[in-house]
Amino acid sequence: MTTTLRPEGPETPTAAGGRTRRWLILSNGHPVGGLRTTADPLGGQLWGRISELEITEGRGRGRGTFGGLAAEEVLRTWGCARVDVAVPESAATARGLAVTLGYTERALTMSKLLATAPDLPAGLSVRPFDRPAELRAWFDRSTEDYVRVMTESGLTEEQARARTGAGRENPAAPDPEAPGSVVRRLYGAEGGEGPYGLLWLQLCLRDLPDGEPLAWVMKVEVSPAHRGRGHGRTLMLLAERECLAAGVRNLGLNVFARNEVAVRLYDSLGYEVTERLYGKQL
């Protein structure tokens, strides 16, 4: 039996200035599944994605493996240096296929439906940055730390810098001064000792399919000298309070798969994994 990949329709441009195409997976000319390849420019290079991979007939015969490998070859010919695959947590078979094809799990997406604003521990206070220049200096340092962590997760330094938005000149880069951003620092009572840590929350990042707004935890950072004292949990409780005060009930976040301490914290607070991100250099 011969398995092949054939375009299902014309190639179309993406909103980011890239290209995308839907493909049929054929067995002896008969459709048995499909997938989509997408390549978007990011930081001077093309970044590939495989999505919509589904085998509709004859599962367990290696057709998913063929589809994944064929999609990678398409992305190579398009000039992509890397490919990512986001797999829903419920798709155990797809997660296994990603591992079989040599993909590395890089990050988890977790979310929680908020109900009641939690109380913060006594003896703590919350303050914004007093000066814009101080906030800007923190953001620049934080970006460098993020680049380092992303390279540890499997990206090259060039790819990591592209993923962060390549600095202030990129209007699409995350910005703690943008509308809807909430940046707060945690101190002792009445602004005393500290700061113990920092929260960066983006309210109403986007709407969910049901129309409900979704907020996103951009950064939770605990000062090295104050780690192990529960301040990370407090900052997450603060994020939930800020969301509910703004009328937002859905809160999501990304966490690196290797950050087991953070994963355990979010799990203990009731956050559930919704998606896993796998990546591979081409």
State the total domains in the chain.
2
**How does pLDDT run across 209-264, given as a tens digit for each residue?**
777 889 999 999 999 899 999 999 999 999 999 999 999 999 999 998 999 999 99
191 within some domain: yes
- What percent of the chain stands above pLDDT 70? 93
Residues 73 and 121 in one domain: no
Residues 202 and 266 in one domain: yes
Residues 95 and 159 in one domain: no
**What beta strand segments (E) does the chain contain?**
3-7, 12-13, 19-27, 30-42, 45-55, 80-88, 104-113, 124-127, 181-188, 197-207, 213-222, 250-256, 272-281
Residues 98 and 134 in one domain: no
Residues 132 and 220 in one domain: yes
> If you average pLDDT over every residue of the chain, what do you get?
88
107 within some domain: no
127 within some domain: yes
**How does pLDDT run across 60-101, given as a tens digit for each residue?**
888 999 999 999 999 999 999 899 999 999 999 999 999 999
What CATH number did the domain enclosing 96 receive?
A: 3.40.630.30
Distance CA 45, CA 81 (A): 7
Residues 98 and 119 in one domain: no
Distance CA 80, CA 76 (A): 5
Residues 86 and 153 in one domain: no
- Range of 27's domain? 3-102
Residues 94 and 186 in one domain: no
**How does pLDDT run across 139-175, given as a tens digit for each residue?**
878 777 777 877 876 777 777 777 666 444 444 456 7
- Domain ends where: 67, 102, 137? 102
